[in-house]
Amino acid sequence: MLEKLKQKELWHSLNDTRVLGLLAFGVIALLVTWSGVKSIQTNYDLQKQISTLAQENSVVKLQNVNSKLRNEYYRTDEFLELAARRQFGKAAPGETLHLVPRKVALAATNTLPNTDDKPKTQTDTRPTYQKNLESWFNFFFHHQ
């Protein structure tokens, strides 16, 4: 009996226009909020794309500037002189060019020790997190 009374009160309160208006307002507010959140997410994604494309654009501009500078260098007399010296064995006026056979030139050089013959240094086998924590500890407390 008490349950039927509670259900009747609930039913009458749902039929009240004020309650229906509040429910409709709540649903509309939720829909507007959801739409706003989706538009903010879309704007964020688009802004990331714009930022990425702007960075790529600046890199390409720098590459273009480097290419222009390289082309200007190729037009200089300095480059032409160096290229002639390297490719054709030419010398500037007043200079004498001595061609030394490769075997003779290498005979006068010192041989460097082979790096493979050196003893292997012990590698640090500690976990990365431990090395990281020790590095931060050394940084904050000025330990070497």
State how far the Cα of 15 lies from the Cα of 63, in Å rounded to an integer.
71
75 alpha-carbon distance from chain centroid: 35
Q: Rounded to 5 degrees, what are φ and ψ at 131? A: -65, -40
- Position 109 in a domain: no
Residue 62: the pLDDT is 97
Q: How many domains does the chain have?
A: 1
- Position 142 in a domain: no
Structure tokens at 13: 């309160």
- Position 123 in a domain: no
Residue 116: the pLDDT is 65
Instruction: Tell whether the model's pLDDT for residue 17 goes beyond 90.
Output: no
Residue 117: the pLDDT is 60
Instruction: Tell whether the model's pLDDT for residue 115 goes beyond 60.
Output: yes
C-alpha distances in angstroms, 123 versus 120, 126, 127? 9, 9, 12
Instruction: Tell whether the model's pLDDT for residue 26 goes beyond 60.
Output: yes
- Position 136 in a domain: no
Mean model confidence pLDDT for the chain: 85
Taking a C-beta distance cutoff of 8 angstroms, is the pair 131, 124 a contact? yes
Indicate the pTM of the whole model.
0.43
Beta-carbon count within 10 A of 109 CB: 7
Domain span including residue 62: 9-104
- Position 86 in a domain: yes
- Position 37 in a domain: yes
Average pLDDT over residues 42-70: 96
- Position 67 in a domain: yes
- Position 122 in a domain: no
State how far the Cα of 52 lies from the Cα of 42, in Å rounded to an integer.
15
Longest pairwise C-alpha distance within the chain: 123
